[in-house]
Amino acid sequence: MSNKPHVIVTGGAGFIGSHLVERLLADGKTVTVIDDCSTGSRDNLLSVLANPDLRFIHSKVSTCSELGGLTAKAESIYHLAAAVGVDLVVKSPIHVLETNLHETEVILEAAAPRGVPVLLASTSEVYGKSQKSAFGEGDDLLIGPPHHSRWSYACSKLMDEFLALAFVRERALPVVIARLFNTVGPRQTGRYGMVLPRFIAAARSGQPLRVFGDGRQTRCFCFVRDTVEALVRLQNCPAARGEVFNVGSTEEISIGDLAKQVIEILRSQSSIELVSYNDAYAPGFEDMLRRRPLIDKLAKATGFRPATSLREIIKMTAATIV
């Protein structure tokens, strides 16, 4: 490793993490990726694996024997390692809870002695069942009942936030929390239920696009490079530390209309098939009807607003999915 500033990215072989690693290397950093590849893949880093400023450690954060030495040399840490995807959350709740809670605790404990700035990637899922038309960082959070594993992911990430902010207060650890709203783009797969790559793959093969529920639930999709820009700006903004920020687009679309737009852009002959949540996941599954972020706080702190339209996102994502 050179004398350049050193950054740790946990989950750096994942969809968002790999784009972040490319950006940090381009910014002149040396980067250590810690990833057990349980949901990510080394293939996501193929464009930079030969870069001498990149080191890849195939490990969980909690079992990385070099973690103490790495954090001692680190300028900052981006903690993106997490269990993600609705399918995984429903089918493997123990794995989700253990991964999200324990790995975050370990990285915060490692960063605390030297006060290494940590960016914690959280999620819009923490807003839970709230029926608000748009979500602000100071809103109350309404998590569903514990016997529905649907909410285990949201609860685990919310506990990550509480733990991180406790480290801010008790250990003076500089932490910023980014609640990500539906990041999409190249390298995202439909393996764990992610909607846009699922739709694109179905449209390409002429298969029906499976829309869960009635399709009227709405989401805002943010291009991965816009998300990365926001994360870098937040990490580099001292005034953001100790705060929570929404990161996402405000361009809202129903999932039914998203399916129609994918079919139209790809000039596909696919149909749209409505699938009940009970059939798609499990009895009692609950979904949020809307998930639109308020991003004024992010814009005020960093000057950032997303720049990529949904049509552009679909085209760029489709160009990478066979």
Which residues of the chain form beta strands (DSSP E)?
6-10, 30-35, 54-58, 76-79, 118-123, 175-180, 183-184, 209-212, 218-220, 222-223, 244-247, 252-254, 272-275
Kindly list the distances between the CA atom of residue 118 and the CA atoms of 30, 46, 173, 314, in Å, as whole numbers in the listed order: 16, 26, 8, 31
pLDDT 10s digits, 297-315? 999 999 999 999 999 999 9
% of the chain residues with pLDDT over 90? 79
Q: What is the mean pLDDT of residues 140-150?
A: 85
pLDDT 10s digits, 30-73? 999 999 998 899 999 999 999 999 999 999 999 999 999 999 99
pLDDT 10s digits, 62-96? 999 999 999 999 999 999 998 776 666 667 778 78
Question: pLDDT at residue 262 above 80?
Answer: yes
Q: What is the pLDDT of residue 93?
A: 79
- Name the residue among 222, 189, 206 with its Cα closest to residue 304: 222
Q: What is the mean pLDDT of residues 137-158?
A: 88
Q: Does residue 153 have an active-site annotation?
A: yes
Q: What is the mean pLDDT of residues 105-111?
A: 98
Q: Which domains does the chain have, with CATH numbers?
A: 6-184+223-248+293-306 (3.40.50.720)
Q: What is the pLDDT of residue 145?
A: 86
Catalytic choice (78, 153, 192, 281): 153
Q: What is the mean pLDDT of residues 220-230?
A: 97
The Cβ of residue 172 has, within 10 Å, a number of other Cβ atoms equal to: 11
pTM: 0.94
Round to whole Å and give the CA distance between 217 and 286: 11
Q: What is the pLDDT of residue 193?
A: 67
Residue with tokens 């960063």: 111
Residues ≥6 apart with Cβ < 8 Å to 67 = 34, 61, 106, 107, 110
Q: What is the pLDDT of residue 120?
A: 98
- Name the residue among 299, 232, 303 with its Cα closest to residue 76: 232
Q: What is the mean pLDDT of residues 1-22?
A: 93
